[in-house]
Amino acid sequence: MNASQPFPFLTVLVLLPAVAGLLVAVLPRSRRLLIEGVGVAATVAELGLAVAVAVRFSTSQGGYQMVSRHPWISGLGVSWALGVDGISLFLLLLVAVVFPLALLGGRVRRDPAQFVAWMLLLESACVGSFLSLDLLLFFLFFEATLVPTYFIIGGWGHARRGYAAVKFFLYTLFGSAFLLVGILAVAFIHKSQTGKLTFDVVQLASTHLSGTAGVLLFCAFTIAFAVKAPIFPFHTWSPLAYAEAPVAGSVVLSAVMAKLGTYGIIRFDLTLFPHATVVMGPVLLTLGVVGIIYGAIVAAAQRDLKRLVAFSSLSHIGFIVLGLFALSTEALTGSVIQMVNHGILTAGLFLLIGMIYERRGTWQVSELRGLQRPAPVLAAVFTVVLLGTVGLPGLNGFVGEFLILVGTFVTHRWWAVVAVSGVVLSVVYMLWAYQRAFHGKTDESNARFADLTWRERWLMAPIVALIIFIGVYPAPILNRITPTVDRLAHHVALANPPAPHHLTAATHSGENAAARAAANGRAVNGR
Amino acid sequence: MLHLAFLMPLLPLAGFAVLVTFGRRLGNPLAGWLGTATVTGSFVIAVIVFIGLLHRTGDARSFTQVLFTWIPAGSFHARAALLIDPLSMTMALFVTGVSALIHLYSIGYMSHDKDYPRFFVYLNLFVASMLVLVLANNLLFSFVGWEGVGLCSYLLIAFWFDRDTATTAGKKAFIFNRIGDTGFLLAVFLLFGSIHTFTFSGPHGIFAHAGSMSTGLATAVSLLIFLAATGKSAQVPLFTWLPDAMEGPTPVSALIHAATMVTAGVYLMVRMSPVLHRSPDALLVVASVGVATAFIAATIGATQNDIKKVLAYSTVSQLGYMFLAVGTQAYVAAIFLMISHAFYKGLLFLSAGSVIHGLDDEQDIKKMGGLRKYMPLTYGAFFVAWLAISGVPPFSGFWAKGDVLMNAFADNRALWAVGLITAVLTAYYMSREIALVFYGDERWRRLRVIKGEPHESPWVMVVPLVILAFCAAFGGLLNLPFHPNWVVLDHWLQPVLGSVVRVPHVGIGGEWALALGDAVAAFLGLGVALGWWVGRSERPALEPAFLRRAWFYDAAIDRLISRPSTAASLVAATDVEERTIDGGVTAVATLVRATGDRLRRIQTGFVRNYALAIAVGAVGILAWMLTRASL
* Candidate from B74, B167, B570 with C-beta closest to A330: B74
First to last CA, chain B: 81
Restricting to A residues 416-445, those with a Cβ less than 8 Å away from any Cβ of B are: 416-417, 420-421, 423-424, 427-428, 431-432, 435, 438-442
Give the single-character DSSP code of B240.
T
- Using a CB–CB cutoff of 8 Å, tell me whether A170 touches chain B: yes
Distance CA A268, CA A180 (A): 13
Confidence of residue B432 (pLDDT cuts 50, 70, 90): very high
Instruction: Enumerate the H helices of B475-552 as residue ranges.
Output: 488-497, 507-533, 545-548
Cross-chain Cβ contact A432/B171 below 8 Å: yes
Question: Which residues from A are below 8 Å from B610, CB to CB?
Answer: 169-170, 173
Which residue from B45, B35, B62 is spatially nearest to B9, judged by alpha carbons? B45
Residue A341 C-alpha, separation from nearest chain B C-alpha, in angstroms: 15
Percentage of chain B exceeding pLDDT 90: 50
* Candidate from A413, A431, A521 with C-beta closest to B171: A431
Cross-chain Cβ contact B151/A387 below 8 Å: yes
Cross-chain Cβ contact A373/B162 below 8 Å: yes
Please check the confidence at residue B512 and state whether its pLDDT lies above 90. Answer: no
Where residue B370 falls (left for φ over 0; alpha for ψ -120 to 50; beta otherwise) is: left
Cross-chain Cβ contact B162/A405 below 8 Å: no
Distance CA A314, CA A324 (A): 15
Which one-letter amino acid corresponds to residue B260?
T
Confidence of residue A524 (pLDDT cuts 50, 70, 90): very low
Question: Which residues from A are below 8 Å from B582, CB to CB?
Answer: 236
Distance CA A450, CA A375 (A): 6
3-class DSSP state of A229: coil
Residue B450 C-alpha, separation from nearest chain A C-alpha, in angstroms: 25
User: What's residue B604's pLDDT?
Assistant: 57
Question: Which residues from A are below 8 Å from B626, CB to CB?
Answer: 188
Whether omega for the bond prior to residue B394 falls within 30 degrees of 0, making it cis, is: yes
3-class DSSP state of B272: coil
Cross-chain Cβ contact A409/B190 below 8 Å: yes
pLDDT digits (tens, 9 = 90+) for A43-73: 999 999 999 999 999 888 888 999 888 888 8
Question: Which residues from A are below 8 Å from B188, CB to CB?
Answer: 406
- CA-only gyration radius of chain A, Å: 22
User: What's residue A447's pLDDT?
Assistant: 85
- What's the half-sphere exposure (Cβ side, CA atoms, 13 Å) at B101? 26
Question: Which residues from A are below 8 Å from B81, CB to CB?
Answer: none
- CA-only gyration radius of chain B, Å: 29
Boundaries of every domain in chain B: 1-278, 280-548, 603-631
pLDDT higher at B509 or A486: A486
Give the single-character DSSP code of A487.
H
- Using a CB–CB cutoff of 8 Å, tell me whether A414 touches chain B: no
Distance CA A266, CA A278 (A): 13
Please check the confidence at residue B316 and state whether its pLDDT lies above 90. Answer: yes
Restricting to A residues 315-344, those with a Cβ less than 8 Å away from any Cβ of B are: 328-330, 333-334
Do the beta carbons of residue A410 and residue B192 sit within 8 Å? yes
Boundaries of every domain in chain A: 282-513
3-class DSSP state of B195: helix
How deeply is B331 buried, as exposed, middle or buried, from its count of CB atoms within 10 A (0-12, 13-18, 19+)? buried
Do the beta carbons of residue B393 and residue B465 sit within 8 Å? no
For residue A471, the chain B residue with the least C-alpha distance is B70
Which range among A224-238, B265-279, B387-401, B498-512 shows the weakest confidence by mean pLDDT? B498-512
- Using a CB–CB cutoff of 8 Å, tell me whether A515 touches chain B: no
Residue B116 C-alpha, separation from nearest chain A C-alpha, in angstroms: 14
Which range among A256-260, B539-543, B600-604 shows the weakest confidence by mean pLDDT? B600-604
Cross-chain Cβ contact B73/A333 below 8 Å: yes
* Candidate from A399, A413, A473 with C-beta closest to B68: A473
**Phi, psi torsion values for B278, nearest 5 degrees:** -80, -10
Restricting to B residues 106-145, those with a Cβ less than 8 Å away from any Cβ of A are: 140, 143-144
- Using a CB–CB cutoff of 8 Å, tell me whether A393 touches chain B: yes
For residue A180, the chain B residue with the least C-alpha distance is B618
Percentage of chain B exceeding pLDDT 70: 94
Instruction: Enumerate the H helices of B114-163 as residue ranges.
Output: 116-135, 139-157
Please check the confidence at residue B151 and state whether its pLDDT lies above 70. Answer: yes
Cross-chain Cβ contact B74/A329 below 8 Å: yes
- Using a CB–CB cutoff of 8 Å, tell me whether B247 touches chain A: no
Question: Which residues from B are below 8 Å from A235, CB to CB?
Answer: 581
For residue A396, the chain B residue with the least C-alpha distance is B71
User: What's residue B624's pLDDT?
Assistant: 61
Q: Is the pTM of this model over 0.95?
A: no
Cross-chain Cβ contact A524/B75 below 8 Å: no
Q: Which residues contact A509 (CB under 8 A, 6 or more apart)?
A: A329, A486, A489, A490, B74, B75
pLDDT digits (tens, 9 = 90+) for B405-420: 999 998 889 999 999 9
Three-class HEC string of B399-438: HHHHHHHHHHHHHCHHHHHHHHHHHHHHHHHHHHHHHHHH
3-class DSSP state of A69: strand
Which residue from A299, A261, A303 is spatially nearest to A390, judged by alpha carbons? A299
User: What's residue A366's pLDDT?
Assistant: 87
For residue B150, the chain A residue with the least C-alpha distance is A392
Residue B374 C-alpha, separation from nearest chain A C-alpha, in angstroms: 35
3-class DSSP state of B72: strand
* Candidate from A173, A394, A435 with C-beta closest to B610: A173
Total residue count of chain A as it appears in this document: 527
- Using a CB–CB cutoff of 8 Å, tell me whether A370 touches chain B: yes
Distance CA B335, CA B337 (A): 5
For residue A376, the chain B residue with the least C-alpha distance is B118
Do the beta carbons of residue B495 and residue B61 sit within 8 Å? yes
Question: Which residues from B are below 8 Å from A478, CB to CB?
Answer: 71-73
Do the beta carbons of residue A243 and residue A306 sit within 8 Å? yes
Question: Which residues from B are below 8 Å from A485, CB to CB?
Answer: 74
Residue A10 C-alpha, separation from nearest chain B C-alpha, in angstroms: 27
- Using a CB–CB cutoff of 8 Å, tell me whether B573 touches chain A: yes
- Using a CB–CB cutoff of 8 Å, tell me whether B214 touches chain A: yes
Residue of B21, B68, B189 to mutate, testing the A interface (most A Cβ within 10 Å of its Cβ): B189
Q: Which range among A84-93, A166-175, B73-82 has the greatest average pLDDT? A: A84-93
Please check the confidence at residue A477 and state whether its pLDDT lies above 90. Answer: yes
Cross-chain Cβ contact B167/A184 below 8 Å: no
pLDDT higher at B139 or B23: B139
Which residue from A123, A118, A106 is spatially nearest to A147, judged by alpha carbons? A118
Residue A318 C-alpha, separation from nearest chain B C-alpha, in angstroms: 16
Three-class HEC string of B297-314: HHHHHCCCCEHHHHHHHH
Please check the confidence at residue A510 and state whether its pLDDT lies above 70. Answer: no
Total residue count of chain B as it appears in this document: 631
Please check the confidence at residue B325 and state whether its pLDDT lies above 50. Answer: yes
Which range among A23-37, A211-225, A498-512 shows the weakest confidence by mean pLDDT? A498-512
For residue B196, the chain A residue with the least C-alpha distance is A517
- Using a CB–CB cutoff of 8 Å, tell me whether A479 touches chain B: yes
Q: How many CB atoms lie within 10 A of CB A216?
A: 17
Strands B63-73, A78-84: pairing is unpaired
**Phi, psi torsion values for A272, nearest 5 degrees:** -85, -35
Distance CA A418, CA B426 (A): 40
pLDDT digits (tens, 9 = 90+) for B19-44: 998 888 888 888 999 999 999 999 99
Question: Which residues from B are below 8 Å from A479, CB to CB?
Answer: 72
* Candidate from A435, A485, A510 with C-beta closest to B171: A435
Residue A237 C-alpha, separation from nearest chain B C-alpha, in angstroms: 8
State the DSSP string of B215-234: HHHHHHHHHHHHHHHHHHTT
Cα–Cα separations (whole angstroms), residue B14 to B2, B45, B560:
20, 15, 45
Cross-chain Cβ contact B70/A302 below 8 Å: no
pLDDT digits (tens, 9 = 90+) for B182-224: 999 999 999 999 988 899 988 888 888 888 889 999 999 999 9
Cross-chain Cβ contact B192/A372 below 8 Å: no
User: What's residue B606's pLDDT?
Assistant: 63
Distance CA A140, CA B622 (A): 15
Please check the confidence at residue A479 and state whether its pLDDT lies above 60. Answer: yes
Q: Which residues contact A330 (CB under 8 A, 6 or more apart)?
A: A403, A404, A406, A407, A410, B73, B74, B75, B76
Residue of B125, B178, B580 to mutate, testing the A interface (most A Cβ within 10 Å of its Cβ): B178
Q: What is the average pLDDT score of chain B? A: 88
pLDDT digits (tens, 9 = 90+) for B56-104: 887 788 888 999 999 998 889 999 999 999 999 999 998 999 999 999 9
Percentage of chain A exceeding pLDDT 90: 65
Cα–Cα separations (whole angstroms), residue A304 to A165, A240, A298:
19, 11, 12
Distance CA B508, CA B516 (A): 12
Do the beta carbons of residue A205 and residue A237 sit within 8 Å? no
* Candidate from B76, B181, B582 with C-beta closest to A330: B76
**Phi, psi torsion values for B196, nearest 5 degrees:** 65, 30
User: What's residue A523's pLDDT?
Assistant: 37
Cross-chain Cβ contact B161/A191 below 8 Å: no
Distance CA B430, CA B348 (A): 10
User: What's residue B533's pLDDT?
Assistant: 86
pLDDT digits (tens, 9 = 90+) for A269-328: 999 999 999 999 999 999 999 999 999 999 998 989 999 999 999 999 999 999 999 999
ipTM for the predicted complex comes to 0.90
Please check the confidence at residue A507 and state whether its pLDDT lies above 70. Answer: no
Please check the confidence at residue B384 and state whether its pLDDT lies above 80. Answer: yes
